[in-house]
Structure 1
Amino acid sequence: MRKIGCMLLSLILILNFSLVTALARPEWPKDTGVQSEAGIVMDIDSGAVIFAQDIHSLRAPASITKLLTALVVIEHTKDLEAQVTFSRDAVYNVESGSGNKFGLDTGDSMTVRECLNLMVLQSSNQAANALAEYVAGSRSAFVDMMNEKLKEVGCVDGSQFANPSGLNDDNQRVSAYDMALIARAVFQNPLALEICSTKRAFIPATVNNPEGVSCSIEHQLVKNNENPDSEYYFPAAKAGKTGWTSQAGQTLVTYAEKDGRRLVAVTLKSTEKTHYSDTMTILDFAFKRFKNARVRDNEIEYVTGTEPVLIDGTAYEPSELMFDEAAVITLPEDARFTDAEKSLETKLPQKHPKGAVARLNYIYNEREIGSAWLLSTGQNTVDALATPGELTGNDGSEAGNTGAKAEGALHSSQFKIPRRMMLAAGILVCFGLLSEAGIIILRKKRRKERERQNELRQKRRARLAEIGFTEEEFDRLLEERRRRRDEES
């Protein structure tokens, strides 16, 4: 008996160890770094921070500031073909030695789009100043708009800007994390992304350039993304902005896209000109070691099953709920979707999608890796088909008034009863048709929903089979998680 007991105990320990090993989450890869003082890679679609090195310390940004300037200009300008005239202050009130690309002078004029091209591609401080004056009337008023935008994109590290160009100023500082949030907003704006990915643009005639001049982007990874012979060849690099001042050193922001994934990388304070190699290293790391998983294709809680789902005091049928199509989470390459922990947020921010009833937030090893809006399709309203009382008022007064008007219009008592009967019959026929149409629509929706549910169940079984679970085992695991969550709360 003692031998049998030892064997059983050993078997139990082996099974428990195997289960723990099977359920263990892979570690978040961290085996890389940058020679710049700070660096970050953020997934644009999930918002997850994939790589981080000293990302919350404030540093001088230099000309990557112009990304924020471009975004504010684009968001507050209706006509990009409107003319911008350069004032003397815009041209000459700049830091000594900061340069003047193409010798711009007082009275020069070009369109908003041309100014944006000159500012982003060639980092023209004069173009940044002129755009600020055009949009806000003065640089100081424009700086207020820039700092207000920081709040809108969620900056948390106390970043602030003092001018639209990025020239040295002790009050102009940004963290790598906040700069990634700014860049994420920039590259999610289609027009801003177009400007920042332009490689070459023509600037029309100015006082000192009567024939006009062509300018090209300074960002070497973007400039050489189709040149395999270049040391800066990185095909995924699609847009970005360079920066340098004596205080900031080299700074760089890069937007990269590969296999449907969109990333932004920021490096701050490179003093050995490693900003390009650093950026290639961390972007390559992020593309190779991580993946995105679409929530709608993988999440089965709340949207499957037959039991009603209670959200903030309201009960929903699972068939009434769905996740937004674009929501993704970012995971290590060898992790599973079910490795992520999640929590349901029912107190929604003021700005949320139409139909949103909650937001599902995902965590992986203490890292925020994405979120998804839980949307109601509103199918519960289909079952409440209108009744005659609902269409005519609770007291039937509207129907009565209609009958009285019809009766008065006839001026003949002999038609009173037939007309009323005809009116009543007409109303009954209309309601019959409406009811029949509603039933047909409802049946179609229910049939489609059954098909969708069957497809989701099949996908669920396949996913669970891949990770070695039966549906019963997985449901039991979910129930245990809910119970622990309730106990903790």
Structure 2
Amino acid sequence: MAEAGIVMDMDSGAILYGQNIHLPYYPASITKILTALIVLENCNLQDTVTFSTTAVNQVEADSGNKISVVAGDELSVEDCLYSLLLVSCNQAANALAEHTAGSIPAFVDMMNEKLVELGCQESHFENPSGLNNDNQYVSAYDMALIAQAAYDNDTLVEISSSTTHKIAPTTQNPDGFTIRGEHRLCVTEDPSSPYYYPEAVAGKTGYLIKAGNTLVTYAVKDNRRLVSVILKGQPRQYFVDGKALLEFGFRSFQDYTVADYESRYVTGNETINLDKGSFQASDLMIDPDSVITLPNGATFEDADISLGALPEISPDNAVALLTYSYNDRTIGTAYLLAKDGVTIDGDDPDTETAPSDTDASNTAASVATASNAEKPQRPHKNISVAGVLITMLIVLLALGMIGLVSWFIYSKKKEARLLAERRERRRQRLKRSGDEEEFERLLNEYKNKKK
């Protein structure tokens, strides 16, 4: 009944069903999922958040104050996140944004930067709460990507899956108070209710007049993880729609761990010529975490496979990318990896490793020589024990400095590489809908309407 919806397999990224998944819609409070993810990536749960006058008052007049905070109130990041995700407190969204970034506009910049990192190209945010703004919109596809990243965060799942939480005392609630979750699929315990769905683990509701009812639901069943998104839904029906998408996904599809089934390119003595060099098949392996999703009745052998060049950013030991499709739709990808000890063309052993002991010693000796050159030179026979100790100390200090600098550079490069790999994997998911040209047409149409 909703205008737009999607159900995505969390592990393969395969879209199992979609309707208007590339059209932009107002997100309302499901925006807070992205807000929570950014906060968790940048703050400690026990940090103290102070509610400013701006945080309390920069909301729409009729949007309420779910936890009755006033300017000057202090709560932990954890309490604010529970208030954000369980009862959709807009003041908590503002306060968390200020605490994380220093100001709400600076936090909004972080939100849009995160969209780029996740591979979202169909969305834009203007505030951390989801309240009305003509330039705040999201597609069902992008919201699924956001949810995919969010529910990979264990702390976010733990908070969002709670049915109740006791908030610490505040000015207007000196004894503290208990809040209760609003996502009916996650809290309903009556099996006779149309909202009863024990597989639902976590999620977020949203509502604005312009947005209609919006909903994100994360569910787990038989070790499979799905996420559904509803945009522009109808009252009460939107829970039923979200549940129906998840039931369809669990009922009609199954996951395959690629490494358990794929033998091509990784067995035998066949020579495989790739951009990264020539390899024996037995020298290669499949990324053990890669999954593809197929409809019931299909087998792994029914999936089409293509061996392609690596994306610009990929794991260090990757030599190619395997893309799987079924009925011309992408159902998952897997990196073809070189096993440990196998040489890859273009490897630069000095790129992300510390200098060898010999190099470090030579560099240290150079530093020591340069340092000693400033001192009056004495005949070798007059070198004292103190002089030897000083020289040894200089060498040791130089070695320590070199080691520290090398470790720092290595850590930064590794951190940057891992972040780049995550971004590329998420960017690849953007192509899995196989509908980029249609998206461009629909987005241009939407923009023309707004003009």
Fold equivalence (TM over 0.5): yes
Contact 2:160 2:203 in 1 (8 A): yes
> How far off is 1:336 after superposition?
1.4
Residues 347, 358 of structure 1: 8 Å contact kept: yes
Maintained 8 Å contact 1:84/1:130 = yes
Residue 338 of structure 2 is aligned to residue 376 of structure 1: yes
How far does the alpha carbon of each residue in 1:188-214 deviate from its partner, in whole angstroms, 9 at most, with x for none? 122222222122111000000000001
Q: 1:392 to 1:178 in 2, by over 3 A?
A: closer
Number of matched residues? Answer: 346
Counterparts of 1:349 and 1:190, CA distance in 2? 29
Question: C-alpha distance in 2, partners of 1:322/1:292?
Answer: 19
Separation in structure 2 between the aligned mates of residue 175 and residue 380 of structure 1, nearest angstrom: 43
Specify which of 60, 66, 69 is matched with residue 104 of structure 1: 69
Which segments of 5 or more consecutive residues in structure 1 lack a partner in the other structure?
Answer: 1-34, 382-390, 394-489
Taking the TM superposition and a 5 Å limit, the aligned residue runs for 1:399-410 are none
Query: Residue in 2 aligned with 1:310?
Result: 273
TM-score, normalised to structure 2's length? 0.74
Q: Is the 8 A contact 1:323 1:373 kept in 2?
A: yes
Matched AA of 1:141: A
User: Is 1:349 paired with 2:315?
Assistant: no
Partner in structure 1 of residue 256 of structure 2: 293
- Check conservation: 2:16, 2:249, Cα contact below 8 A: yes
Deviation, 1:230, is: 3.1
**Residues 160-200 of structure 1 deviation map (CA, whole Å, 9 limit, x = unaligned):** 01100000110111111111111111011222222221221
Q: Which residue is 2:107 aligned to?
A: 142
Q: Distance in 1 between matches of 2:37 and 2:190?
A: 29
TM-score by length of 1: 0.69
Q: Which amino acid aligns with 2:103?
A: S
Which of residues 163, 183, 203 in structure 2 aligns to 1:199?
A: 163
- Residue equivalent to 1:170: 134
Q: 1:329 aligns with which of 292, 295, 299?
A: 292
Listed one character per residue, the Cα deviations across residues 314-369 of structure 1 (whole Å, up to 9, x for unaligned) are: 1222222111212110111111112211222323332x334222221111112111
Distance in 2 between residues matched to 1:392 and 1:263, nearest whole Å:
50
Q: How big is each residue's C-alpha offset from its partner over 1:241-288, in whole Å with a ceiling of 9 and x where there is no partner?
A: 000011111100000100011000000011343111111111111111
Specify whether residues 348 and 99 from structure 1 end up closer, same or farther in structure 2 by C-alpha distance, changes over 3 A only: same
What CA distance in whole angstroms lies between the structure 2 residues aligned with 1:196 and 1:366? 36
Tell me, yes or no, if the aligned pair for 1:102 and 1:208 is still in contact at 8 Å: no
CA contact 1:206–1:212 (8 Å) conserved in 2: yes
Q: Which residue of 2 aligns with 1:120?
A: 85
CA separation in 2, counterparts of 1:37 and 1:392? 64
2:18 corresponds, among 52, 56, 65, to 52
Question: Is 1:90 aligned to residue 52 of structure 2?
Answer: no
RMSD: 1.7
- Distance change >3 Å, CA 136–CA 309, structure 1 → 2: same
Deviations 1:22-57 (A, max 9, x none): xxxxxxxxxxxxx01101000000000001011111
Relative distance call for 1:330 and 1:81 in structure 2 (3 A) is: same
Higher normalized contact order (CA 8 Å, seq sep 6+, divided by chain length): 2
Match in the other structure for 2:365: none
**The structure with more helix, counted as a fraction of residues:** 1
Mapped partners of 1:303, 1:100: distance in 2: 58
In structure 1, what residue type is equivalent to 2:32? K
State, as a whole percentage, how many aligned pairs show the same letter.
51
SS in 1 for 2:263: coil
Change (3 A) 1:377 1:126: same
Could you tell me whether the CA contact under 8 Å between 1:241 and 1:253 is conserved in 2? yes
Instruction: Give the gaps of 5 or more residues in structure 2.
Output: 344-355, 359-451
AA at the equivalent of 1:242:
T
Matched, 1:242 2:242: no
How far the C-alpha of 1:90 sits from its partner, in A, is 0.3
